[in-house]
Structure 1
Amino acid sequence: MESFEADDGHVFVRLDRGDRALESIREVCADREIDTGVVVSGIGTFSSLNIHYVNRTDLPDEQADRNVDLELEGAWEVTNVDGIVADGEPHLHVTAFDGERTVGGHLEEGCEINVLGEFTIRRVEGLPLERRPNDRNVSQLTRRDE
């Protein structure tokens, strides 16, 4: 993995075979001190794809009862990764294709780079954000008190 920062605050991240996507993005955010930001672009290939998605409209109180977890192996062409960094923590979504099906959802740990990964993070200054659970235990983006 390697990251490069432009004068305007954009951080470009190169992930290599065997790197883990979410874990690496977290590391770059910590190393580059990105508290609030936007992942504006993400492409590459994964050899393992771990995601979850919400498959219900009634939103049970327990998050485990709301989500479907997928742990998929094989060659996955990643067509998009984007999301928000709040309080240094990335919340990312992914769309990927394996030649037969397209899947999408919330990017989880353990997504291993197959050939390459390229991501762009836009740092945002002056807006401290975090996620807090609401009354339905849904993690919501909110301004952080400083």
Structure 2
Amino acid sequence: MRSFEGNDGHVILQLQPGDKALESITETIDDHEIDTGVVVSGIGSLNKLHVHYVVPYEEFPEFAEDNDDVDEYLHEEGAWEVGSLQGAIADGEPHLHITAFEAESGRMIAGHLEPDSVVHALMEIVIRPIEGPELARRPEEMGIPMLQSR
């Protein structure tokens, strides 16, 4: 893992084979003391892709009553080409979405990037710190964490 900081504050992160994507991004956020920001670009490849996505509420009618988890988790292996990685950083914590394609199976997956997603060949990620707002995510309606001022 390597990171480079521009004069304008942007941080460019280069991940290498075997690096864990989300964990490396979180470490870079800590190292560069980024409290609030955005991941504006992320491309590369993964050989382990771990994501979660939200399933339709109608499949979980009890959600509104019991606030049950409605996330589906996928743990995939293969040669996943990352077409997009982006998201927001609040209180130093990233919330990232990823879109990836696996040519052998012809599958495309989109979801929330989860820990233990492992870089295959490389990843390049650009993070833009935002000065000013101090944000956090706190549960609101139906227990969903939403951005709020701290």
Q: TM-score, normalised by structure 1?
A: 0.95
Segments of structure 2 that go 5 or more residues without pairing to the other structure are: none
Secondary structure of residue in 2 paired with 1:125: coil
1:62 maps to 2:68 = yes
* Structure 1 Cα separation of the partners of residues 88 and 31 of structure 2: 17
Q: Which residue number corresponds to residue 96 of structure 1?
A: 100
* Structure 1 Cα separation of the partners of residues 90 and 113 of structure 2: 15
Q: 1:78-107: per-residue Cα shift (whole Å, max 9, x none)?
A: 000000000000000000000111110000
Higher helix share: 2
Q: Which residue number corresponds to residue 19 of structure 2?
A: 19
Displacement after TM superposition at 1:62 (Å): 1.6
Segments of structure 1 that go 5 or more residues without pairing to the other structure are: none
Displacement after TM superposition at 1:135 (Å): 3.4
* Structure 2 Cα separation of the partners of residues 13 and 135 of structure 1: 35
Q: TM-score, normalised by structure 2?
A: 0.92
CA RMSD of aligned residues (A): 0.9
1:108 maps to 2:114 = yes
* Structure 1 Cα separation of the partners of residues 116 and 81 of structure 2: 16
- Report the structure number with the largest CA radius of gyration: 2
Q: 2:82 aligns with which of 56, 78, 82?
A: 78
1:28 maps to 2:28 = yes
* Structure 1 Cα separation of the partners of residues 90 and 145 of structure 2: 11
**Would you identify which runs of 4 or more consecutive aligned residues in structure 1 move more than 3 Å?**
none
Q: 1:24-47: per-residue Cα shift (whole Å, max 9, x none)?
A: 000000000000000000000000
Displacement after TM superposition at 1:56 (Å): 1.5
Q: Which residue number corresponds to residue 45 of structure 1?
A: 45
Secondary structure of residue in 1 paired with 2:141: coil
* Structure 2 Cα separation of the partners of residues 47 and 113 of structure 1: 6
Q: 1:139 aligns with which of 137, 140, 145?
A: 145
1:119 maps to 2:119 = no
Q: How many residues align?
A: 142
Displacement after TM superposition at 1:57 (Å): 2.8
